[in-house]
């Protein structure tokens, strides 16, 4: 019953709190509709599950651990968990800390990361173009802190959750990007004041798949022609699909990263695992475009999107 007790304790921490401003940590979200719903119908948002709560808790522990590592290394950390507020644009946020270096003080955001995501970022631009939308929100968050703190440079410190490795990524203030975030905040505030709701974005699995407002947003997009199915096998398979999907995505990422690390190395012994590889020839037929067009055919294909409503 130990695990059950832990999960019960975590479950008790899952709560919904009022959202009365535009959070800096969320303004990088690419769906304006989500951001408006976050302000106007926050109490209807689907609560996250225990698994995600444990990830959040681990992130807070990593933040404390990194802060301790920095202090033990002789760095001065100031204004930890300082709250920011920009009343003109109704933007609020809480920065992790600031670090004093060479007579200057820089805002710092500390993030925990899975190994494959940790390996994929080496610059703020990598984050802005990242495949994961949560990663794409990070530069917006720090940009807003820089604007509110009147600083022109800030720092991300990422910690690999598997190895403990640290990575520092400096980011210069991009005024054009900052201006776009301010305009987004103004658009949200206008919708909130007028009681309107922006149009939804085109469905994106990474953004819409686990959205807490899907039950509000999706019915408007499904339409009246939806077929109601009572096929229990289909329901069981879809539920199983949703359970397995995160693990399948992680497997693909881990497999890709392993391939990058072992490419060209014939025999490797790592821990209790032996990895063997070899080169092989792959035949590719390079056909000129004008020839390809002569044999072009269009075949109907079916593509599915599975979303929780």
**What's the pLDDT tens digit per position in 74-96?**
999 998 888 999 999 999 999 99
Task: Inform me whether the pLDDT recorded for 196 exceeds 90.
Answer: yes
Look at residue 118 and tell me whether its pLDDT is greater than 60.
yes
b/e for 150-179, b at 16 or more Cβ within 10 A?
ebeebbbbbbbbeeeeeeebebebbeeeee
When pLDDT is cut at 50, 70 and 90, the band that residue 151 belongs to is: very high
Residue 178 pLDDT greater than 60, yes or no: yes
Mean confidence (pLDDT) of the chain: 88
The residues spanned by each domain of the chain are 2-222, 250-294
Domain 2-222 adopts which CATH fold? Lambda Exonuclease; Chain A (3.90.320)
- CA 205 from chain center: how many Å? 12
Mean pLDDT of the region 21-41: 96
Angle at 52 between CA 304 and CA 108, to 5 degrees: 110
Tally Cβ neighbours within 10 Å of residue 127: 26
- Give the model's pLDDT for residue 301: 78
Residue 224: per-residue pLDDT: 53
How far apart CA 152 and CA 175 sit, in angstroms, is 9
Return the structure tokens found at 245. Answer: 């999907």
- Split at pLDDT 50, 70, 90, the class of 249 is confident
Each residue's pLDDT tens digit, 266-293? 888 888 888 888 888 887 778 887 777 8
Q: Is the pTM of this model over 0.75?
A: yes
CB under 8 Å to 277, separation ≥6 — which residues?
262, 263, 264, 265, 266, 267
H helical segments located in 94-231 = 115-119, 124-128, 133-149, 175-194, 205-208, 214-217, 219-222
* CA–CA separation, 164 and 88 (whole Å): 40
Query: Which pLDDT value is given to residue 162?
Result: 87
Backbone angles phi, psi at 270, to 5 degrees: -130, 115
Angle of helix 50-72 relative to helix 2-11, nearest 10 degrees?
90
């Amino acid at each position: 019953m130990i695990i059950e007790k832990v999960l019960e304790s975590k479950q008790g921490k899952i709560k919904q709190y009022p959202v009365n401003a535009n959070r800096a940590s969320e303004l990088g979200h690419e769906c304006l509709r989500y951001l408006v719903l976050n302000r106007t119908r926050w109490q209807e948002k689907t609560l996250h599950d225990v698994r995600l709560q444990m990830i959040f808790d681990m992130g807070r522990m990593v933040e404390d651990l990194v802060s301790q590592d920095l202090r033990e290394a002789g760095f001065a950390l100031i204004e930890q968990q300082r709250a920011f507020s920009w009343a003109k644009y109704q933007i609020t946020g809480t920065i992790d800390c600031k670090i004093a270096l060479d007579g200057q003080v820089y805002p710092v955001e500390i993030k925990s990361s899975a190994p494959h995501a940790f390996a994929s970022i080496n610059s703020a631009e990598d984050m802005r173009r990242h495949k994961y939308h949560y990663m794409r929100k990070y530069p917006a968050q720090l940009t807003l802190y820089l604007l509110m703190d009147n600083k022109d440079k800030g720092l991300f410190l990422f910690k690999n959750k598997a190895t403990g490795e640290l990575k520092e990524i400096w980011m210069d203030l991009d005024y054009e990007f900052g201006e776009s975030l301010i305009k987004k905040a103004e658009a949200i505030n206008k919708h909130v004041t007028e009681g309107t709701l922006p149009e939804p974005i085109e469905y994106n699995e990474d953004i819409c798949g686990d959205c807490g407002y899907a039950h509000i947003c999706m019915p408007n997009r499904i339409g009246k022609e939806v077929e109601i199915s009572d096929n229990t096998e289909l329901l069981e398979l879809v539920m199983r699909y949703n359970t397995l999907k995160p693990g399948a995505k992680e497997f693909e990422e881990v497999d890709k990263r392993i391939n990058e690390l072992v490419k060209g190395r014939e025999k490797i012994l790592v821990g209790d695992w032996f990895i063997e590889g070899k080169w092989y020839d792959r035949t590719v037929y390079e056909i000129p475009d004008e020839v390809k067009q002569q044999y072009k055919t269009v075949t109907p294909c079916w593509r599915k999107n599975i979303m929780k409503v």
